[in-house]
Amino acid sequence: MHQYNHKGQDVFILQGRGGRRRGLLSRNEEEELLEELRERGERGAIVIAKTIREYAAKRLGTEVSKDYAYDLLHRHGWRKIEPRSRHPKSDSENRKSLKKLPEIVASSVRTLAEEDTRPLKVFFQDEARFGRMSNPARCWASADFRPIVPMQRVREYTYIYGAVCPADGDSFSLILPSANTGMMTLYLREFSLFYKDYKIVMVMDGSP
C-alpha cells in the first residue's frame, strides 16, 4: 500500500511478482556449489545446512542466513534423509559381483558330480552375535529412601549360525558359544547331516 500510494499503478509494472530478485548466486552457480557438496556426500561426508552456509559464504565473500541455505536446497529439490549405512570394510566391487549371483551359483552347480541325482537347494549362510549387559532397572521408592543393589557390569554373548533357502523358506540354525573355525566346522557338519538327501550350494558372507 505504501508503494501504491506513492507510485500509483506503476508499482505493478516496476516490480513483478515472484522470481528470485534477491538471489545471491545465479542458478548455474548454485548448481555448481551443490554438485561439489554432492561429491562430498558420495565420499561419505554428512552434508548439513551449516555446510551449505559455509560454502555459500566462501563463494560470496560474505555471511549468508540459515534461511538462504534451506531455500537453496528446496529450490534444487534436495531433501533431508537418513544416510544409508555401510560397513567401513565393505568392498564396492564385491557388492557389484553379487548382482551376478545367478551366474555364480550356476557355475558352482556345474562343479557337482553329474551322477548325483539328488535335488538341489541353495542356501545363504551367516552368523550373528547376541548378548546382554546387566544394568539396574528403575523402581519406585519413597521420597526419603533410595534403594541400593549390588551391581557389576557383566557382558554375556552367544552366537547363532544360520542358513536360509530363499526358494522355499527352509532354514537351519545352531546356537553355539563362540565364533571360530571349530564352531563353523561343527555347524557345517551338522548341516550336511541334516540335508544329506540334497545337493547344497551355500553362499557364505557373499561368496559361494
Sign, CA torsion 65/26/59/80: positive
Distance in angstroms (rounded) separating the CA atoms of residues 48 and 30: 16
Residue 13 has pLDDT above 60, yes or no: no
pLDDT band at 11 (very low <50, low <70, confident <90, very high): low
Calculate mean pLDDT across residues 102-108: 80
110, 159 Cβ separation under 8 angstroms: no
More reliable by pLDDT, 106 or 162: 162
Predicted pLDDT of residue 39: 78
pLDDT tens profile 15-59: 444 444 455 778 888 888 888 877 777 666 667 778 778 888 888
Sorted by where each begins, the domain ranges of the chain are 2-75, 92-204
More reliable by pLDDT, 169 or 90: 169
Residue 206 has pLDDT above 60, yes or no: no
Predicted pLDDT of residue 87: 63
Predicted pLDDT of residue 10: 64
More reliable by pLDDT, 147 or 71: 71
Average pLDDT, the chain: 78
Residue 195 has pLDDT above 80, yes or no: yes
* % pLDDT > 90, the chain: 22
Query: Looking only at Cα atoms, what is the longest distance across the chain?
Result: 99
pLDDT band at 14 (very low <50, low <70, confident <90, very high): very low
pLDDT band at 196 (very low <50, low <70, confident <90, very high): very high
Predicted pLDDT of residue 88: 63
List of residues 6+ apart from 141 with CB closer than 8 A: 147
More reliable by pLDDT, 109 or 94: 109
Calculate mean pLDDT across residues 82-92: 64
Calculate mean pLDDT across residues 104-121: 84
